[in-house]
Structure formats: structure tokens, C-alpha cells
């Protein structure tokens, strides 16, 4: 596993470019968000998605699949965002929220037959820069180490996923928080389906 370390708030664009090359080659990466560290892959690469789902034991036919986007503009290419959902998301993003939205036909075949996708724009510059540089979203799922303390330590994550991931982006100690999930499939009546660290008024 390759290991790239970021220091403080500075963004090393050479590291970002290295990570994007791995994503484009179908690799799986571990990277920081504004909640827990995440496992991610190119959201338009079916093989990479299948690999990530196997790694986490996710059945893509039954589990909500979430994408990390660099901006609302990018998100609107892969999810159908009406005016009400857009206004709500603009008020709370970037931030620790996952908005469940109707998926668009731009997503690959693993999403076909699915009517929804989780959309995240984290308040984390590394995550946003990755999606921007990739040019499309990152399919993402939170890491799930056996020991909760391992979720905080990049070194522990490197050991836990040494044989499964291709790259660890070390952005410092992680968090144990999860995002707040908001169902916006009916944007006139959005509903919190999981309360996480993000506080939202509906």
C-alpha cells in the first residue's frame, strides 16, 4: 500500500494527482472526510466498484451506495436535484451530511435498476480536491476496523487494509462520527433516516 501524508491544512497537489492516477486505474484508496476515514474508488469504474463492495461485504443491490462529489455542480450530473433539494443542500453543504436523491443515468451499470444514490460533499478539502481532480465522484463507504480506536489512526488503518487498499491518504487523526443521512427522494418532505454529527433543521 502506498502512503501519502498531508501536513496541516496544506494541499499537496502532487499527492492529489498520484491518488487520482490510482483511482483511474481502478484502485481502492483510504482517505479522510469530515467524519470517518473512507474507502473510495472511481464511481464510474464498474470493476473498482465491485472490488470495493466485495471488500466491505456490500450487496450493491440492497445497500445504499454513496458518492463523494467536489461540488453541487458535479453532484447534479449524477443525481437528480430539484429546486427544493438544491436549496436544502446549499444550506448545509459542504458538511457531514449524506443526501439520498434520485439517481441519474450518468452512473454506471451497478446503479442500474436503483432509484437512489447517497450524495456527500464533505467539509474536507482533501476529499473535495480528489473528486474535483478526478472529474467525477468517488464511490465511498466508511472504514470499518474491528477496533473503534483504529478508525482514528492512519497507521492502524494502513495495517488493517494493507492487502486490500492501494493507497492511504494520511490527513491526520480521524473521527468516529458518521454523517447525518437525509432522505430527499420526496424533497417536499425530507426525512432524517440516520442522525449523525450533522445537525439539520427540516
Q: What is the pLDDT of residue 69?
A: 98
**Average pLDDT of span 128-139:** 98
Confidence of residue 60 (pLDDT cuts 50, 70, 90): confident
Residue linked to cell 486490500 = 164
pLDDT in tens, 86-115: 999 999 999 999 999 999 988 887 777 678
* CATH for the 2-194 domain, from 3.90.870.10, 3.30.200.20, 3.30.460.20, 3.40.50.1970: 3.90.870.10
* C-alpha closest to that of 31 among 111, 140, 108, 134: 140
DSSP β-ladder status, 116-120 and 66-68? parallel
Give residue limits of the domains in the chain: 2-194
Q: Name the CA radius of gyration of the chain, rounded.
A: 16
pLDDT of residue 150: 63
Beta-bridge mates of residue 90: none
Strand partners, 138: 42, 68
Q: Is the pLDDT of residue 169 over 70?
A: yes
pLDDT score at 151: 65
Distance CA 62, CA 60 (A): 5
Using the predicted structure, report yes or no on whether residue 157 has a pLDDT greater than 80.
Answer: yes
Sign of the torsion angle spanned by Cα atoms 54, 177, 76, 135: negative
pTM for the model stands at 0.94
Cα(16)–Cα(130) distance, integer angstroms:
6
Beta-carbon count within 10 A of 142 CB: 18
The pLDDT of residue 10 is above 90: no
**H or E element at residue 91:** helix 83-92
pLDDT-derived band at 161 (thresholds 50, 70, 90) equals very high
pLDDT at 145: 65
Average pLDDT, the chain: 93
Amino acid at each position: 500500500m502506498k502512503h501519502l501524508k498531508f501536513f496541516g491544512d496544506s494541499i499537496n497537489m502532487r499527492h492529489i494527482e498520484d491518488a487520482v492516477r490510482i483511482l483511474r486505474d481502478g484502485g481502492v484508496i483510504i482517505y479522510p472526510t469530515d467524519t470517518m476515514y473512507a474507502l473510495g474508488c472511481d464511481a464510474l469504474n464498474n470493476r473498482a466498484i465491485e472490488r470495493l463492495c466485495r471488500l466491505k461485504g456490500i450487496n450493491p443491490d440492497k445497500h445504499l451506495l454513496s458518492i463523494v462529489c467536489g461540488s453541487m455542480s458535479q453532484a447534479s450530473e449524477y443525481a437528480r436535484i430539484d429546486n427544493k433539494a438544491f436549496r436544502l443542500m446549499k444550506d448545509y453543504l459542504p458538511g457531514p451530511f449524506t443526501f439520498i436523491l434520485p439517481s441519474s443515468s450518468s452512473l454506471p451499470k451497478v446503479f442500474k435498476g436503483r432509484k437512489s444514490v447517497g450524495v456527500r460533499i464533505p467539509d474536507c478539502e482533501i476529499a473535495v480536491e480528489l473528486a474535483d481532480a478526478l472529474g467525477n465522484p468517488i464511490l465511498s463507504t466508511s472504514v470499518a476496523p474491528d477496533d473503534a480506536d483504529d478508525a482514528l489512526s492512519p497507521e492502524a488503518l494502513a495495517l488493517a487494509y494493507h492487502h486490500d487498499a492501494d493507497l492511504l491518504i494520511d490527513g491526520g487523526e480521524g473521527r468516529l462520527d458518521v454523517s447525518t443521512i437525509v432522505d430527499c427522494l420526496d424533497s417536499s418532505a425530507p426525512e432524517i433516516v440516520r442522525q449523525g454529527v450533522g445537525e439539520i433543521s427540516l
